[in-house]
Amino acid sequence: MEFSVWLAFFAASWVIAISPGSGAVLSMSHGLAYGVRQTSATIAGLQLGLAVILLIAGVGVGALLLASAAAFTVVKLVGAAYLIYLGVKQWRAPVAQQAPAAGEALVKHAGLPSVRERVLTGFMTNVTNPKGIVFMVAVLPQFIDPQRPLWLQLLILLATSVGVDLIVMHGYAFLASRAQRWLATAKARRAQNRVFGGVLMAMGASLLLVRKGG
């Protein structure tokens, strides 16, 4: 892979990662509720999902999926249903009446999902997102040289994309975690749950509008 091609993909990866999406919302939601360290498991799951999407698009399966109306519809419905489920779960999440002490993570009062649950939540959020498949199928071919080994190029693109997304998602989680001091009351945390829950549900509903054409 030419350095200029990689540099262009590196720049594109930052634009893609920074653009608000379900992964960013999930990172901020967990960062606010659990703190940055605990959110790392969620972000790891997001990267696993991103890796699957990139590899699917890279080997051409994504294009075949887009060519099949039935398969695309199934992926779209599953992705929409999962985001709506996460939104409802966030909306209805219980909050404790006792405010956390200064500097204490909200998670001690709200209940922390296991590492496995956080990783799975992140993974499912990205891997069931048809927008990701549509985007990768449209973008990746521009950075792949058919005259060079495919898998080596995919590995380079994968490492670049995941590396950038890790930084950006942790940045979102960090910024959200800084707001914990202003969400010390049960009323404020309930409002936070409903804001993030509502956004996730809206994103899930928006997936129903995604068409095979992009």
DSSP readout, 92-132? T----SSPPPTT--THHHH-PPPHHHHHHHHHHHHHT-HHH
Q: Tokens 């099949």 correspond to what residue?
A: 68
What is the C-alpha separation between 129 and 80, in angstroms, rounded?
8
What is the C-alpha separation between 165 and 49, in angstroms, rounded?
12
pLDDT tens, residue by residue, 138-167: 777 778 887 888 888 889 999 999 999 999
Query: Are the C-beta atoms of residues 201 and 83 closer than 8 Å to each other?
Result: yes
pLDDT tens, residue by residue, 165-212: 999 999 999 988 887 666 656 676 677 777 777 877 887 787 677 666
Cα–Cα separations (whole angstroms), residue 31 to 12, 23, 40, 127? 25, 12, 9, 21
Query: Are the C-beta atoms of residues 12 and 83 closer than 8 Å to each other?
Result: no
Query: Are the C-beta atoms of residues 174 and 36 closer than 8 Å to each other?
Result: yes
Q: Tokens 């990205």 correspond to what residue?
A: 126
Instruction: Give the pTM.
Output: 0.74
pLDDT tens, residue by residue, 66-110: 677 777 777 778 767 877 887 787 787 776 544 444 444 444 444
Query: Are the C-beta atoms of residues 118 and 38 closer than 8 Å to each other?
Result: yes
> In the chain, which ranges are continuous DSSP H helix?
3-18, 22-34, 36-58, 61-67, 69-91, 107-110, 115-127, 130-139, 150-177, 186-207
